[in-house]
DNA sequence: GAAATAGTTCCGCTTAATGAAACAATAATC
DNA sequence: GATTATTGTTTCATTAAGCGGAACTATTTC
């Protein structure tokens, strides 16, 4: 109504109108909801659609909130809330596998551990929440980076890569190969690359239309984790990932 | 980079940059992240802050995603994902109270039931997910509307109000009085107003900086639900509401 | 307290938003 | 299936607003 300041207020008004109508709005409905003239609404909707803040339902002219907004909020969400949302699932994994389970999230051009669940027999976790997971030596990071834009991967590769153990693969080409392998297999493995004697698996978590923003995995002493078949672990983790995806998106 | 289309692309770029930096960005950091000139970034940040899409951390000049974005997503989120997030909590309530528990959400100028959990001895729920909860005869709706802008309340009151039972209060003034009572007490009660012989309680759920968007409550046959003290139920529900709030926001 | 860095304001230039109106495409009605 | 009503798209002269370099102020650093 009182459209005094900038264009953003109009965009925001349109987004508000559409957000509060779960079934979407047509151009004319948006027009009535906002009180803006026809031509204007048409242009605003088109722009919002172009940047991905709106999507069209089916292929009709009905507009709903777009995937890019969801992505914004996932990336911006506080670790606490994500932790709360995935904790029960991680606990389930721990119970079934008897190993530490974790969820990591993409954060700019880094990946950080967000939540972990530790078997109670164990004193210390190998993955503390908040820890920065390096692209070249952490399954959690590989599972995420493998499905990012090449430009983002390259930005991540710009950073110094520490040789944590003798098995750490620091060469950029090797890392790119690893990511390719992850894409092919659908999950990532890190053996003795970050912490000595530690093995870890991770699978990507796809969020609605926003792509891969999280990963979920397990980590533990190689000697113990090796008792599982890779395929079996991958299956377990994939199920967990789907569940997380459903919980965080709107499956 | 390739800023060809409209201003929205720039706004979106700024939001992206800030979203992917969980600790927020200063003006100059945003400048570097987006490649935009100083004066421009200053203006963009100011506009985004004005509409509520950005907030300043503490009172420094560090920008993070603002509450209005969260509100957008909560209103736009699919019922499914919310259902998944609150289901365990509702189950807990059902277990403790032995009565049907539900969560409702504001949706435009209506309130709709989103998720329910039913005690297994019971065949049918009184509140089916998706059901439209009328402002004048449902505790779930009153708990939410009581804390909305007056203009929204008036819009909701524009709609026809059906007299479901002899106890249904259809007069607009009565409804406004009811809402005032809810604000005072902090919870809403509906006795025999929507479904005959049915009693229900609901408390508002506050989301981060976005206000009251949900309510959580219980519903059951008056004869049975009356065994509880109002104060006790209110306490139980309040605890549940706080828990939901924490789960959905980032408390 | 000097120097460097970060944030704000100014202002002429330019571009893009504006919205009424004409036009096109659907949907509704007879 | 022809007519009417409704909804979506395009156009265009007018106008407002975004633009960003540069000057300026506040803050931090040394």
- Per residue in A15-72, pLDDT tens? 999 998 878 899 999 999 998 899 999 999 999 998 999 988 877 789 999 888 888 8
Look at A246 and B80 and tell me if their CB atoms are within 8 Å.
Answer: yes
User: Based on the number of CB atoms within 10 Å of its own CB, is B62 exposed (0-12), middle (13-18) or buried (19 or more)?
Assistant: middle
* Cα–Cα nearest to A249, from B172, B78, B49: B78
* Cα–Cα nearest to A11, from B111, B50, B2, B106: B50
Name the closest residue (CA) to the C1' of nucleotide D6: A28
Phi, psi of B172 (to 5 degrees): -55, -40
Residue A2 scores a pLDDT above 60: no
Q: What is the structure's pLDDT at A84? A: 78
Taken in order B120, B122, B127, B128, the sign of the CA dihedral is positive
Confirm if A81 and A105 have CB atoms less than 8 A apart.
no
- Residue B158 CA to residue B39 CA, distance in Å, equals 46
Confirm if B224 and B77 have CB atoms less than 8 A apart.
no
Q: Cβ of A14 under 8 Å from any chain B Cβ?
A: no
Q: What is the structure's pLDDT at B221? A: 92
* Cα–Cα nearest to A45, from A59, A65, A68: A65
Provide CB contacts within 8 A for A87, sequence distance 6+.
A115, A117
Look at B16 and A78 and tell me if their CB atoms are within 8 Å.
Answer: no
Confirm if A202 and A237 have CB atoms less than 8 A apart.
yes
Look at A65 and B51 and tell me if their CB atoms are within 8 Å.
Answer: no
pLDDT in tens, A191-243: 999 999 999 999 999 987 788 999 999 999 999 999 999 999 999 999 999 98
- Residue B132 CA to residue A236 CA, distance in Å, equals 39
* Cα–Cα nearest to A76, from B50, B29, B57: B57
User: Which spans in chain A are helix H?
Assistant: 8-19, 27-34, 38-51, 67-76, 79-97, 139-145, 150-157, 172-185, 222-225, 230-248
Residues touching nucleic chain D (CB < 7 Å): A 6-8, 26-29, 38-39, 42-43, 61; B 7, 10, 36-40, 43-44, 47
Please state the separation of Cα B213 from the chain's center in Å: 1
- Residue A126 CA to residue A48 CA, distance in Å, equals 43
pTM for the whole structure: 0.85
Q: What is the structure's pLDDT at B98? A: 92
- Residue A213 CA to residue A124 CA, distance in Å, equals 26
pLDDT in tens, B64-97: 998 888 888 788 777 777 887 788 889 999 999 9
pLDDT in tens, A127-175: 788 889 999 999 999 999 999 999 999 999 998 999 999 999 999 999 9
Structure token digits, residue B139:
């505790």
Confirm if B87 and B62 have CB atoms less than 8 A apart.
no
Distance between B166 CA and the closest CA of chain A, angstroms: 32
Residue A93 scores a pLDDT above 90: yes
Only one residue has tokens 């389930």, namely A92
Contact, B7 CB vs strand C, < 7 Å:
yes
Of A76-85, A90-99, A179-188, the one with minimum mean pLDDT is A76-85
8-state DSSP, A189: E
Average pLDDT, stretch A76-92? 83
Q: What is the structure's pLDDT at A79? A: 79
- Residue B151 CA to residue B109 CA, distance in Å, equals 10
Mean pLDDT, chain B, rounded, equals 89
User: Residues 71 to 100 of A: which have CB under 8 A from any B CB?
Assistant: 71-73, 75-81, 84-85, 88
Residue of A18, A51, A85 lying closest to B247 (CB–CB): A85
Strands A54-56 and A63-65: antiparallel
Question: Testing the interface with A: which of B17, B49, B68, B72 to mutate, by most A Cβ within 10 A?
Answer: B72
């Amino acid at each position: 109504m009182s459209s005094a300041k900038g264009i953003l207020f109009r965009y925001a008004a349109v987004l508000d109108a559409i957000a509060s109508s779960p079934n979407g709005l047509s151009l004319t409905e948006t027009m009535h909801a906002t009180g803006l003239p026809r031509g204007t609404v048409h242009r605003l909707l088109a722009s919002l659609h172009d940047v991905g803040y709106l999507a069209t339902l089916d292929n009709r002219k009905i507009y709903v909130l777009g995937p890019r907004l969801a992505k914004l909020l996932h990336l911006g969400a506080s670790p606490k809330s994500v932790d709360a949302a995935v904790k029960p699932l991680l606990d389930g994994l721990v119970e079934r596998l008897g190993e530490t389970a974790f969820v990591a999230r993409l954060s700019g051009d880094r990946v950080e551990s967000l939540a972990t669940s530790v078997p109670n027999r164990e004193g210390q976790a190998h993955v503390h929440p908040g820890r920065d997971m390096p692209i070249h030596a952490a399954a959690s990071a590989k599972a995420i980076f493998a499905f990012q834009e090449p430009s983002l991967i390259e930005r991540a590769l710009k950073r110094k890569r520490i040789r944590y153990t003798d098995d750490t693969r620091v060469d950029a080409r090797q890392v790119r190969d690893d990511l390719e392998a992850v894409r092919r297999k659908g999950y990532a493995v890190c053996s003795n690359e970050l912490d000595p004697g530690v093995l870890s698996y991770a699978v990507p978590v796809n969020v609605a239309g926003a792509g891969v923003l999280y990963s979920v995995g397990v980590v533990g002493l190689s000697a113990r984790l090796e008792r599982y078949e890779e395929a079996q672990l991958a299956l377990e983790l994939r199920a967990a990932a789907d569940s997380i995806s459903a919980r965080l998106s709107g499956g």
